[in-house]
Amino acid sequence: MATTHRHASVAALEALAAFARSAQPARLIAVLPRPVVEVLSAAADVVLVALLAVYYVLEAAVFELLPRRFTSKSVDGQVVLVTGAAGGLGRHLAARFARLGATVVVWDINQEGVTETVRRVVSAGGLAFGYSVDLADKQAVYRTAALVKREVGAVDILVNNAGVAFGRTLMQLTDQQIETTYNVNILSHYWTTKAFLPEMMRSNRGHVVTVSSVTGLMGCYRCTDYSASKFATVGFHESLFTELKVLGYDGVHTTLVCPYFIDTGMFAGVKPRLLPMLEPGQAADDIVDAVLTNQVTVTLPGSVRYLLPLKSLFPSKLSWALMYRLMQGPQAMMGMKPKG
């Protein structure tokens, strides 16, 4: 009931906005100078945006207070594909979606891990299909995507979660490691999304989830490859969001997730000073909850989003002092065990 009312209210306001944007009678244009008409049109848009701002802020507050059962959508019977699901966060995400009645498709290069994730989902009463695929190989992604469509069906929710991190400084990284980071962490998002988005667009129903990182919002020591690739996922996702909105695919939702360090072993040895690493099971719960409620952007933990603007608001030297002296981000990363 609440969701229906929400859509109706938003539709009414957006229809009003569309009408105002088009409300420039020819006779008014003929009488008034064009610059005046443009100013009046801009003023009308400002008023409408102000009204929308009030509505959206109130809407966010109400939906934050309402129990999730009133605001969450169902994924029962839907097909959810999770990349990088042979272990870590991906495995937890697969288990959470399966528990909600979704058919889970597990993708990873690690065949043994894929088999284990499928086994755990099935033993818990869920339905899962596993595929070993090298996400760095574009043609392998397209071939496996076609196989999934034939054997399982169209994907309703795509979770781009796979990622690699080598934990080396720029001069320690090999060219191959840099290319691997970009191939897995960002380029694979293009191939998976291009493979599964067309069906979502045709039905105007679906969801694309991008698991990025806080390091995709703020650079991190020993992460010139990882952090840069995660910055790219943020840009990719936000641009995709605008394309879907402008083209009218309001039924295809997108969720960008930027978590802090998660204790999955990827950043083994890192010792954060101010905040402990996130527990992967809890992070998976938060991400699934964000998908069920169609949240657009999620930062985990939520408190981190209040710190991120400081790097733009404060002088650069002060930002560095906070990072190095107070948060001790570089020092924490010095303990990371390099991979490869």
| Active centre residues (catalytic) | 226
3-class secondary structure, 197: helix
Strands (E), the chain: 79-83, 103-108, 127-132, 157-160, 206-211, 252-259, 297-300
Residues in the chain: 340
**What's the rounded Cα separation, in Å, for the pair 87 and 69?**
29
Contact 80, 102 (CB under 8 A): yes
**What's the rounded Cα separation, in Å, for the pair 287 and 97?**
10
For the CA atoms of 219, 224, 227, 232, what is the dihedral angle to 10 degrees? 110
Residue with tokens 């527990």, as numbered in its chain: 279
3-class secondary structure, 326: helix
Q: Which of 258, 260, 269 is nearest to 339 (CA)?
A: 269
**What's the rounded Cα separation, in Å, for the pair 165 and 80?**
25
Contact 285, 97 (CB under 8 A): no
**What's the rounded Cα separation, in Å, for the pair 171 and 42?**
51
Q: Which of 214, 113, 108, 236 is nearest to 163 (CA)?
A: 108
